[in-house]
A and B are shown apart, each in its own frame.
Chain A
């Protein structure tokens, strides 16, 4: 690992900057607290230490976020509504369902586009345009529309996650199916392979690296979709609902903990897909 030392250095620098920023941003608040309590005999050191351990800081110190995460993940029963495991599992469920639908839809569209030429010209601009719509703006409405059909709970959020994740997958897979070079396609023609055979034996295997790359992007997008959808329908819980609850009650430490939990979820999904992808690509001979 040649990059381990540089990465560690950068992370340490970020942590240091975070502590400095937290102390600077919270100190005025802490001074007010001292003034309210009629305390004037505090030293600079007191001020710094207390600023980093406030209950409702403007910016909590990293150790506060880690402490809150530890408390809400390991020290709280997973069935409790305060536990981040409870809410994380809700978000994970929505993400996975949405991601699977999005992946199916994305790959299906890509196959169609590669198979039927005129579809690309009429469909592709709309697929691109569908992403120009700030999709997230549609999230509250999709929830309401599905609610009219008595579809509640996980489904609306999974739908939004799916909507966000299908696009990068379609674009990536179209590129992947087109990645075999003309020589290989010509070879298939000299074998007088049918279009289906060409697809199954050449285009599909050749798209593997693109497949895993677009799965990673799609999974990350699905997490974003699920979290934002939870913000718009927060009664059912989930990490997005914790973000909203925290912002209602000014619980900054809780917001940061929920944010880090969502980040960890996203990173874990992308990491798992990356590992599977590496193993598969090694077996298929894409990477040594």
Chain B
């Protein structure tokens, strides 16, 4: 199992290393100025020399991301469970939720900065708005994913609404919920970083990127982007890992294990 996992990792790893080498060599051979695109070694140097700044930016941004993510996801789930009781509300909310998911919600960032100030609270507010609707729509659909047979079985057991919800429908909805949780990791990060373009106390990844671009500290911009990328990937991997633990029974995992 472990050997196979390693083998699975090899092709993308090789591809990534080849890409980095090509990047470094190409820039040096073509004498591309560092201002345009710094080679990986320069970015790595910059990264090691500015760890305190990068760490401060990271903590400032991650506060907004995590709070926004948590509130948005939990409230989306709760509203979905409440709405689920009323067919009428569901028929009204689902198309609207789908529509809202296609709208450029990040645009609300300047308004949230105005309402909640420059600190992380406004970034969390953008995160809440961005993560709420994907969670709502996915959970509503997921709650109906339990088959009619299973639901009938619960009825023959004389299960109450609450028992059916907790024993059957919520577990059956978990793959959909996790799908939203995974999408939302990126959305919460994007929301927080874009909101920082509109105003921050002078710290934060979005702030760092926009100011360093302003006075052409491109290596610092890339170092921040690396932090953002690694943070985003780890966040996603964490949620995906929990998903594998919790929904191990789902067909997509069973097939792979066999």
Contacts and interface: CB of A to CB of B under 8 A. Distances in A.
B186 interface: yes
B14 interface: yes
Contact of A121 (B12, B189, B224, B229): B12
A67 interface: no
Given A6-B89, A58-B115, A263-B104, A132 B205 contact: no
Interface string B87-110: 011111101100101111011101
Nearest to A9: B92
B255 interface: no
B113 interface: yes
Contact of A231 (B111, B197, B228): B197
Interface string B112-139: 0111000000000000000000000000
Contacts, number: 152
A255 B107 CA distance: 9
Contact of A10 (B92, B113, B225, B233): B92
Interface string B193-218: 11001110000011001100100101
A10 to B, nearest CB: 4
A220 interface: yes
Given A126-B16, A227-B107, A247-B113, A10 B96 contact: yes
Nearest to A245: B110
Nearest to A141: B221
A134 B232 contact: yes
A220 B106 CA distance: 12
Query: What is the size category of the interface that chain B forms with chain A?
Result: 35 or more
Interface in A115-147: 118, 121-126, 129, 131-138, 140-141, 143-145
B37 interface: yes
B218 A122 contact: no
Interface SS of B by simple majority: helix
B236 interface: yes
A28 to B, nearest CB: 13
Contact of B103 (A140, A141, A263): A263
Given A125-B12, A132-B232, A267-B102, A259 B91 contact: no
Given A6-B91, A9-B88, A137-B193, A126 B15 contact: yes
A133 B227 CA distance: 9
A134 to B, nearest CB: 4
A262 B110 CA distance: 14
Size bin of chain A's contact surface: 35 or more
A259 B108 contact: yes
A135 B19 CA distance: 19
B251 interface: no
| Interchain residue pairs A-B with the least CB separation, the first 6 | A6-B92, A247-B110, A10-B92, A122-B11, A125-B12, A122-B15
Interface of A: 2-3, 5-11, 58, 118, 121-126, 129, 131-138, 140-141, 143-145, 148-149, 216-217, 220, 223-224, 227-228, 231-232, 239-240, 243-244, 246-247, 250, 252, 255-256, 258-259, 262-263, 266-267, 270
Interface of B: 8, 11-12, 14-16, 19, 33, 35-37, 88-93, 95-96, 99, 101-104, 106-108, 110-111, 113-115, 186, 189-190, 193-194, 197-199, 205-206, 209-210, 213, 216, 218, 221-222, 224-225, 228-229, 232-233, 236
6 contacts: A132-B232, A132-B236, A134-B189, A136-B190, A259-B104, A267-B102
